[in-house]
Amino acid sequence: MASKHFILFVLVVFLFSFEVNSAMVGGWKPTSDLKDSKIVEIGKYAISEHNNKANTTLEFNSVVKGDTQVVTGTNYRLVIAAKDGGEVGNYLAIVWDKPWEKFRELTSFRNFLTN
């Protein structure tokens, strides 16, 4: 009888461990400090890359909202305030970053319309 309880205990611990690890990897987590130098750096990178790809002249203003996602590296999903001519608008950018490989890529960029 004791061995059945032990097996059940091990199974419960394994399932709990799997659940905790699943929650940590893959889900989006809100960014608490939008003025953190890494977040600002990623935001400026997103604007610069978009300008290069789309031949635009947006000017970085600030990061308005942000989330991170642990993948092979980190995805940053940022709402960025940027000046387009004289008008400031919000843009949604996703940047994939793998600093150990010196790899960074803008994977998505679009106008962010709030309803």
Instruction: Tell me the domain boundaries of the chain.
Output: 28-111
**Which pLDDT belongs to residue 103?**
98
Structure tokens at 49: 């890359």
**Which pLDDT belongs to residue 87?**
93
**Which pLDDT belongs to residue 88?**
95
User: What's the CA angle centered on 81, arms 114 and 38, to 5 degrees?
Assistant: 120
Per-residue pLDDT 10s for the chain (115 aa) are 556 655 555 444 454 444 444 445 689 999 999 999 999 999 999 999 999 999 999 999 999 999 999 999 999 999 999 999 989 999 999 999 999 999 999 999 999 986 4
Predicted model pTM: 0.76
CATH architecture of the domain covering 28-111: Roll (3.10)
